[in-house]
A and B are shown apart, each in its own frame.
Chain A
């Protein structure tokens, strides 16, 4: 197994164990969409757009008391090492579902009865942690669309590499590392709305990773607020 940490606990890209990759966010990037956002999470490049609230098709999906949220997470064929078949895979179907479920508790769904809100998350380039980047971008796009929300959804993963708990794994660390814990939270409501886990954690390591991921999510949340402020209030910081 290749070594992911040097003797000073620095990672292959020079990061410390609890350090995020460089993150860039921009709100309002797709002219046609009701709301949109672009995010770079290290080498992940993700575009999210929201259309709606609009009519529900097929009609039997309509809910009389609330909106329905339709979310699609999709990887472009050029986003990965080998070309990815553009047809939706089982992995993408699953991630679409969990992203949707991570976003929904933040939205005041009952404010938009008989409508559908469409969220499209397009992964232009993936490098480990694309679902967290995706959910973060999608939440910004929802806010940008002016949809009533209780909170933002902020995503960030923690994991374990060379036996140590680390924040925000990139693709190499995810593949070669011991475990990955993607998470998303509603920072103000203090709820975890996305949580997956694969790999090998002891009880203690799990709790440590959980807390570290939460810290990462809170940092991402600050950046989300700044990105929204940048668009709506110029460069004024929160």
Chain B
């Protein structure tokens, strides 16, 4: 994202950033492995089947769920569909422009998708109505409202919180292959809660939850999604730069630990929203 911030940041803040990092601190006062403040607000969009707004530092993201009927893929006739898309809205930053998604945005959606899919949070066979003909399709659409780094985690938390609060239409089969909407809404059944943790490599140090300033100068990025305190379900390295094996081990330890604390926060916010 080198071109997304002014050169002033690249050349002046960079030195300050390195100085702080060598002392084990960051320019916003955080420790290397500390995340920013996180707020999760499920149910912000009434017309969606599920939704959540996530604020991570100054990064803001809304995820909305729509659940509709669809046709299954030929090779998985008994499985529903999970479709994740993302968009950085033009309101989100001065450099953001409307238009078809670029590679970065596609990667964002696919990393969120992989976290949800591989965690088996949703059992896709639960979404089958008539095998080979009609299934439910779960659309997770992520809109980025304000960019200040670490879109991966913000988008992932929003998607997960939205799924946890999602309701889906109940269909019944009226005769061979024909279905009817009963008008009732039932909760989407979910199992494990995937939590992603993104880290940036800056001057050979690993920092968790990078800001846009930090992403501007990072050499590489690593996102790890965990489902419990001892299981990892997805990972993605990005950006031209390399990690040593030691750094990867540190990153995995960090992701497992951070995953547990964020999972608690997500659960709490979802419980609160369900009480309302």
Contacts and interface: CB of A to CB of B under 8 A. Distances in A.
Nearest to B110: A94
Interface stretch (A24-32, A97-105, A120-128): A97-105
Interface in A70-118: 82, 90-91, 93-94, 96-98, 100-101, 104-105
Interface string A128-159: 00000000000000000000000000000000
Contact of A193 (B107, B233, B242): B242
Interface in B110-128: 110, 114, 117-118
A10 interface: no
Which secondary structure characterizes the binding site on chain B?
mixed
A163 to B, nearest CB: 13
Contact of B232 (A90, A93, A192, A206): A206
Place the interface of chain A in its size category: 35 or more
Given A190-B244, A196-B236, A203-B256, A90 B109 contact: yes
Contacts of A12: none
A198 interface: yes
Nearest to B237: A195
Interface in B222-276: 222, 224, 227, 230-245, 248-249, 252-253, 256
A191 interface: yes
Contact of A105 (B104, B230, B242, B256): B242
A207 interface: yes
A101 B239 contact: yes
A210 B245 CA distance: 8
A94 B237 contact: no
Interface in A167-184: 181
A99 to B, nearest CB: 11
Interface in A189-238: 189-203, 206-207, 210-211, 214
Contacts of B227: 200
A206 B242 contact: no
A197 B235 contact: yes
A167 B41 CA distance: 43
A82 B74 contact: yes
B244 A191 contact: yes
Contacts of B12: none
A117 B29 CA distance: 40
B8 interface: no
A186 B243 CA distance: 10
7 contacts: A82-B75, A90-B109, A105-B242, A189-B242, A197-B233, A203-B230, A206-B232
Interface of A: 69, 82, 90-91, 93-94, 96-98, 100-101, 104-105, 181, 185-186, 189-203, 206-207, 210-211, 214
Interface of B: 74-75, 103-104, 106-107, 109-110, 114, 117-118, 220, 222, 224, 227, 230-245, 248-249, 252-253, 256
**What 10 A-B pairs have minimum CB-CB distances, sorted nearest first?**
A191-B242, A197-B235, A104-B240, A195-B237, A193-B242, A97-B103, A198-B118, A101-B240, A201-B232, A192-B243
